[in-house]
Amino acid sequence: MKTGVSVGANKWVFVKQFDTASKCIAHLRENRYTIAVTSSHFKSKNNVNLYEQSFTQKRLAVWFGNESRGISKEAAEEADICIQIPMGGIVESLNLGTSTGIILSYISYQRLRFIFDNKKARFKPKSIAKSKMKSWEEFIKPNR
């Protein structure tokens, strides 16, 4: 199956394809995921500022819409939260690559920090994994 995931990322990213948004939503609900969509245009009671929300849920699925149509109405209505990047000026949105990078970078940082601050790491790193863990610790707390 062709997933479109880069060669290095396929080791770290779980990809499951669905025929419809409804089937995906049902799968995520059944497996107790928090569903987050991203949109600068969708306005609802569950809009959250990226930098004011906690993303440390055990299971989190983040949906990104395409640049021309955005996120589907069905996905937006079914989502638990709608993440928005705060922006000033007249620009209302960023391109997909930029917004994806900003959002996933911030969420990853927050989740790693939560793991280290709460000693939630469930493995004992060995050899190269130990050096990766050390670099993550330095990323999380650079002034130690």
Residues linked to residue 35 through DSSP beta bridges, in sequence order:
61
Residue 24 pLDDT exceeds 80 = yes
Residues in the chain: 144
Instruction: Give the model confidence (pLDDT) of 29-52 as tens digits.
Output: 999 999 999 987 776 668 999 999
Q: Which residue, 45, 46, 43, 44, is CA-closest to 35?
A: 46
Query: Residue 93: its pLDDT value, please?
Result: 73
More confident residue, 138 or 29: 29
What percentage of the chain carries pLDDT values higher than 70?
Answer: 70
Which pLDDT score is estimated for 4? 58
pLDDT at residue 90, rounded to an integer: 75
C-alpha torsion sign, points 121, 126, 131, 132:
negative
Structural domains present in the chain: 9-140 (3.40.1280.10)
The 10s digit of each residue's pLDDT in 65-111 is 877 788 888 988 899 999 999 887 777 778 888 999 999 999 988 98
Residue recorded with tokens 């049902």: 26
